Structure 1
């Protein structure tokens, strides 16, 4: 399988250079007995192991999710980064032990020939190039393992500089400078190793990233239809961010509306955290819901109910206690028998009482769910009805004009739709009241009227 992206290529290049430098450092150490050079040679050898591990980690991390790894394989990089830190810490501990032994004991004879100094200078330049290459690729690929490799080589620069200075001091007549330099490098490496190890541990332990979590919460709360954001859980796997978001919406929202709200949340989150894998769960509100919303939601949950409308709740006091009287209309299957309808009504009433409490009384009216019926457009033939409807509508105070009337003949009745205009600032309550008055007036004038619909538009 070909490794995707630039990450494997960057690792292979670093691998070849590390192998060459490691061999050269080992040869020079055998000729100089320098502890600083030994630390360099051993570090290069361990870099080889770490880079091999890193190469396979970035290849594995690039694989897509499968049946065994639903979130992909990106954490292989974090595991590789943590392993590099463990290996680096063990090496530093060994070198520090030897350095302390030389400082408190008899100093070993250390040579500092010119070629050793030249090799260390070359190592510094090469490591600097490797750091730049790996950091650039790590940013482009979002790779934690490459960041760990870059830190490792940045540490190598520090050890090479200290080793170079130590050998210069040895040449100046300070033989213990070699051991002191090794000890200083060890301390610096341990600090850097712990910082990166802690970052890898956070990812492996699914610690929530702070900044994305806050941004996701704010984005979800601002999505249309969201009453509140109840929970946000964020985790990362490599450069991929995963978020589980729970939001609350109105209890009367349909399944389709809840789906639209969830998609809206995903779009808002995508604006602030591009590329995030987001799962949105929509729950109904409860605390802020009105009695009407709660009653409608409870009735709608009843099996066999297709639609609930005309929910009216009257609150009054009786014997010092608050009582509720709920009336509602529900649509059920057209073939439902009286016995089945009565049983269904009782289930609806029980559900509403359970929601609102024992102080509520519920009365239901069941209607058949109508299917699509075939009709005929008779608007042109029934101009008398069109004129009557227009006159009735325009007689209403809140109607500016009636500009369209549609008359459909179906099942022995005439269904009438009237489009009227009103002021743009007309309150909805007045629109509804005006519509009811127009409908009643039409029914008085047109005995054949079936369904009457008044559609208001802004003038």
Structure 2
């Protein structure tokens, strides 16, 4: 794409150069101010196209440490320079035209080769304007668009020169000066349009309707609760989009990351030129449950809670939960942490609520990466599994016990097991049955420090078709 931009810009240089030489030659030979004005206009176009060629080469260079947003605005600087040249040329044309209109005698010759040069110029301008406009649209290049605007205005100004030559041929020599003023008007109009766009880009003015379009696309992405701020600014062929969006504060971090990625994907699909940055902010949603609000506040403090119980007693909200803290933490520090969470919940749910917390130690082994464990002797594992199977048969609530693994750790024995249960039992009933088995094992083997039981519904060919929380563990 960058090679195509450079090629079309180089073609414009050659076309402008050829037209400049032709118009100057015929303009000097005939004395036509209109043609000389067009020659100067073409000379200006030649300088502008050279600027454009350098601009597109530089603007496509990747971002670096000194230019973190890339080099796209080089195109805008080039277009601004072209604008200044346009107005300077217009001033000279108007001055010369006024001088000729006030002169007693004007010598202008309307020849067939003057008309031929203008017609050839119109044909070249038409072809170049079409090619430049096509590539500018494909690459979103402001510099190429400025060149296309130049060549389009040249078609109109050349037509005005033809009218002036026609008036000269009909015996009105001052018609050439009037045509030159007409050329200057077209040049000024082109300069105004180009200058306005260029200045808007340099001062980071958002393209008309771009922010509204971005907001509409983002609002349609699932998981977006609100679009808080949209900032859009063009830079060469790129459109930088900075977004602040709101998502439900109860969402896990990986889900928030997925939503942000979906926003970027949606915008790039609709606006390929967009470079998108998304900041997601938590928002309390109206449909949050009390449980979700408790978990959010606990997460804010970096603590874990479980067994959350929410009640309404005589119209008053009551919340209780188990608070997990480091088992080696002094009780005064653990109690201070508990009090902080209770205050946070009253701020969240209201001062009149009742909050009760039960402090219990986390499974703490003192090592961030876990403890080293080894399988115990097979006969000891077999004896424990046999005892567990016998208890399951007596209770009738666990259909079997299988996949028993017992590991020795510095803290004691860690036992893992699976069991099948009737698929119509409730989670609470299954949890109670597993707890009872765990207590029985601890009575038989006091050195057990941790038991994890994983229940599975019976007759499930895929091993987990009925949703059962996994693993279900006892109080241990």
TM-score, structure 2 normalization: 0.79
Q: Residue 70 of structure 1 corresponds to which residue in structure 2? A: 68
Residue 152 (structure 1) shift = 0.5
- The count of residues paired between Structure 1 and Structure 2 equals 436
Offset at residue 336 of structure 1 (A): 1.7
1:371-397 deviation digits (Å, cap 9, x = unpaired) = 6564759589726645865997879xx
Q: 2:120 matched to which residue of 1?
A: 122
Conserved 8 A contact 2:389-2:400: no
- Which of the numbers 333, 339, 362 marks the counterpart of 1:340? 333
* Structure 2 residue 218 is matched with structure 1 residue 220: yes
**In structure 2, which of residues 181, 189, 193 is the aligned counterpart of residue 183 of structure 1?**
181
How far does residue 413 in structure 1 lie from its aligned partner after superposition?
A: 6.4
SS class of match (2:204): coil
2:429 is aligned to 437
Q: Take 1:241 and 1:68, find their aligned partners in 2: how far apart are those partners?
A: 19
Structure 2 Cα separation of the partners of residues 174 and 40 of structure 1: 20
Give the alignment's Cα RMSD to 1 decimal.
Answer: 3.4
1:103 offset after TM fit, Å? Answer: 4.7
Q: Paired residue for 2:304, among 295, 307, 315?
A: 307
CA contact (8 A) 1:422 1:458 kept: no
| Structure 1 residue 68 displacement after superposition | 2.0
Shift in alpha-carbon separation, 1:177–1:342, aligned structure 2, 3 A: same
Equivalent residue, structure 2, for 1:295: 294
> How far off is 1:70 after superposition?
1.2
Distance (whole Å) between structure 1 residues aligned to residue 241 and residue 394 of structure 2: 59
Aligned 8 A contact 1:89 1:189 in 2:
yes
Match of 1:113 in 2: 111
5+ unaligned residues in a row in structure 2: which ranges?
365-369, 443-450, 458-463, 467-476
The SS at the match of 1:5 is helix
**Residue 382 in structure 1 maps to residue 375 in structure 2:** no
SS at match of 1:382: helix
Q: Give the direction of change, closer, same or farther, for the CA distance of 1:64–1:354 in structure 2 (3 Å limit).
A: same
1:171 aligns with 2:138: no
Shift of 1:22: 1.9
- Structure 1 residue 170, shift from structure 2 partner: 0.8
More displaced 10-residue stretch of structure 1: 234-243 or 348-357: 348-357
Equivalents in 2 of 1:266, 1:125: separation in Å? Answer: 44
Q: State the shift of 1:57 in Å.
A: 1.4
In the superposition, relative to structure 1, how do residues 266 and 137 fare at CA in structure 2: closer, same or farther (>3 Å)? closer
Deviation at 1:73, TM superposition (A): 0.8
Matches of 1:275 and 1:403, distance apart in 2 = 61
**Does residue 369 in structure 1 map to residue 362 in structure 2?**
yes
When residues 445 and 64 of structure 1 are mapped into structure 2, their CA distance, relative to the original with a 3 A threshold, is closer
CA distance change for structure 1 residues 80 and 216 in 2, over 3 Å: closer, same or farther?
Answer: same
User: Is 1:242–1:276's contact at 8 Å kept on the other side of the alignment?
Assistant: yes
In 1, the alpha carbon distance for the partners of 2:161 and 2:52 equals 26
Q: 1:96 to 1:455 in 2, by over 3 A?
A: farther
What is the Cα deviation at residue 297 of structure 1? Answer: 1.9
Q: Is the partner of 1:226 in helix, strand or coil?
A: coil
1:9 is aligned, of 7, 10, 22, to 7
Task: Give the 5 Å matches for 1:205-354.
Answer: 205-209=203-207, 212-274=210-272, 276-288=274-286, 289-302=288-301, 305-315=302-312, 324-354=317-347
Equivalent positions of 1:130-169 (< 5 A) are 130-169=128-167
Is the 2:388–2:441 contact (alpha carbons within 8 Å) kept by the matching residues of 1? no
1:409 aligns with 2:409: no
Shift of 1:293: 2.9
1:135–1:413 Cα change, 3 Å? closer
Counterpart CA distance in 2 for 1:128 and 1:296 is 67
Q: Specify the SS of the correspondent of 1:244.
A: strand
Equivalence for 2:352: 359
SS in 1 for 2:249: coil
Query: Using a 3 Å threshold, how does the CA distance of structure 1 residues 126 and 250 change in structure 2: closer, same or farther?
Result: closer
2: distance between equivalents of 1:126 and 1:347? 78
Q: Which residue of 2 is the match for residue 427 of structure 1?
A: none
Structure-1 residue corresponding to 2:445 = none
Q: Which runs of 5+ in 1 are unaligned?
A: 396-401, 424-430
- Aligned equivalents of 1:196, 1:404: Cα separation in 2: 80
